[in-house]
Structure 1
Amino acid sequence: MPALTVLTGAATAAYSAALVARPQLLQRPAGLARNRDARTLTRLVGVRDTAIGLAMVLAPAGPARRAAVGARVASDWGDAAVLGVALRGRGTWGKTVGFAALWGAVCLAALRYDER
């Protein structure tokens, strides 16, 4: 069985690549605008997260993989913080912020499990 960090990295890369192709996969459930600028920003996040997910898949165990997972966790928790402010008062706040924070925690837990 592959390391859990490899699996979470592959899931991250797959979802993020889908965001590049179809930004509305994030915009609609998060309640974000779906205009040209919002699509561009969503695609930027998708490219960033695809790269980080692939780094998690390809990095050898040890410092390189820890760095890749650290980037994933920092990105997810940073996204949760930014979206937490931006979506305050909207009905999508909880699920959007919660999912970003949770995915960062899942990736961190995967690393801790793999390194035990």
Structure 2
Amino acid sequence: MPSLTSLVGAATTAFSAALLVAPGVLIGPARLADTADTRALVRALGARDAVSGLALALAPPGRPRRLATTARALCDWTDAVVFPPALSGRGTGGLVAASAWAWGALALGALVLDERAGR
């Protein structure tokens, strides 16, 4: 069975790849203006998250996995702090923040469970 951490990394990578191919996946629900600049920004976020998701999915146990998980969680939690003020007035900032905090916590929780189970 794959580690929980690698499953979280695979899910992150899959969603991030969707952002690269179809940035509207995030633009619509976040109620952002669908412009070329917004699509470029969402694709950049997708690229960042795809790379960190792959690192999380492929990192071997021990220090490499802990570093990949920390990087992934910090990316999510930075998004949770930075994006809500930019989304003020759209009614989506709270949802974006909650989602980002949750994904970071999920990655760390998966790591803790994997390490306790010796995976």
Do the structures match in fold with TM over 0.5? yes
Answer whether contact 2:84 2:92 (CA < 8 A) is retained.
Answer: no
Query: Counterpart amino acid of 1:12?
Result: T
Counterpart-to-counterpart distance in 2, 1:72 and 1:112: 14
Q: Unaligned regions of 5+ residues in structure 1, if any? A: none
Aligned to 2:47: 47
Q: Secondary structure at the match of 2:28?
A: helix
Counterpart-to-counterpart distance in 1, 2:97 and 2:27: 13
Counterpart-to-counterpart distance in 2, 1:70 and 1:80: 15
Higher deviation after alignment, 6-15 or 86-95: 86-95
Aligned to 2:9: 9
Report the TM-score when normalising by structure 1: 0.95
Counterpart-to-counterpart distance in 2, 1:114 and 1:37: 39
Q: Unaligned regions of 5+ residues in structure 2, if any? A: none
- Using the aligned pairs only, state the percent identity: 53
Counterpart-to-counterpart distance in 2, 1:47 and 1:38: 14
Aligned to 1:111: 111
Counterpart-to-counterpart distance in 2, 1:105 and 1:12: 13
Q: Does 1:62 align with 2:62?
A: yes
Counterpart-to-counterpart distance in 1, 2:109 and 2:33: 32
Counterpart-to-counterpart distance in 2, 1:82 and 1:34: 20
CA RMSD between the two structures = 0.9
Q: CA deviation at 1:90?
A: 2.7
Q: CA deviation at 1:89?
A: 3.7
Higher deviation after alignment, 44-53 or 81-90: 81-90
Q: Does 1:84 align with 2:84?
A: yes
Q: CA deviation at 1:101?
A: 1.0
Answer whether contact 2:85 2:93 (CA < 8 A) is retained.
Answer: no
Higher deviation after alignment, 88-97 or 52-61: 88-97
Note the alpha carbon deviations across 1:1-28, whole angstroms, 9 max, x for none. Answer: 2111000000000000010000010111
